[in-house]
Homo-oligomer: A and B are copies of this chain.
């Protein structure tokens, strides 16, 4: 099974784009719909707006108790009731990446409570993280979230909480695409 995922914005796909905005820096071009493909090689699909790729990988910051908590309550993607989604591509600064592991970890969790904040919104929000900094992509991460319509306000609150953290001071580009499955 491939660990590579492709997000293709254009005129096709099961996800209809309901919102597209820039949070920090340059945004993404407008697209009507989104396709997602899980394959090692570039999918043969017409790319009329943009194509972003990333890979799933091992955990980079979570400790044993955090992993235990996450695995106990995180829901799977693809739940029938989770007809809303968000694709949030992020890029962090060179200063962030040049920091030693313990400094990044401290900002991520002890100072910004990233995992702790996320845990409060489980199991409403399902999530998958894709890495892409190391493969020449314009972003460092592609974050993908799925939730039911009645949890959209909670999801908005999750984003607002994370964006107010010290960790987010290192985010130099962030786009946000909202979607509905049809």
The smallest C-beta distance from A14 to any residue of chain B, in angstroms, reads 26
In the assembly, what is the distance between CA of A122 and CA of B63, in Å? Answer: 31
Contact B66 A134 (CB under 8 A): no
The count of residues in chain A whose C-beta lies closer than 8 Å to any C-beta of chain B is 27
Q: Is the CB of B55 within 8 A of A102?
A: no
Closest to A68 in B: B100
Contacts of A4 in B (CB 8 A): 136
Instruction: Evaluate contact between B135 and A100: CB separation under 8 angstroms.
Output: no
Q: Does A61 belong to the interface (CB within 8 Å)?
A: yes
Complex alpha-carbon distance, A135 and B131, angstroms: 11
Indicate whether A182 reaches chain B with its CB closer than 8 angstroms: no
- The reply to whether A62 and B131 contact each other, CB–CB distance below 8 Å, is no
In the bound complex, what is the Cα–Cα distance between A58 and B58 (angstroms)?
Answer: 14
Query: Interface readout for A90-107 with B: 1 if CB under 8 Å, 0 if not?
Result: 000000011011110100
What residues of chain B lie closer than 8 Å to A101, measured between beta carbons? 59-63, 105
Complex Cα gap A59–B105 (Å):
12
User: Top 5 closest A-B pairs, CB basis?
Assistant: A63-B102, A67-B100, A58-B97, A64-B100, A55-B134
List 9 interface pairs A-B (beta carbons < 8 Å), by A numbering.
A40-B136, A57-B133, A57-B134, A59-B100, A60-B60, A63-B100, A63-B102, A64-B103, A131-B134
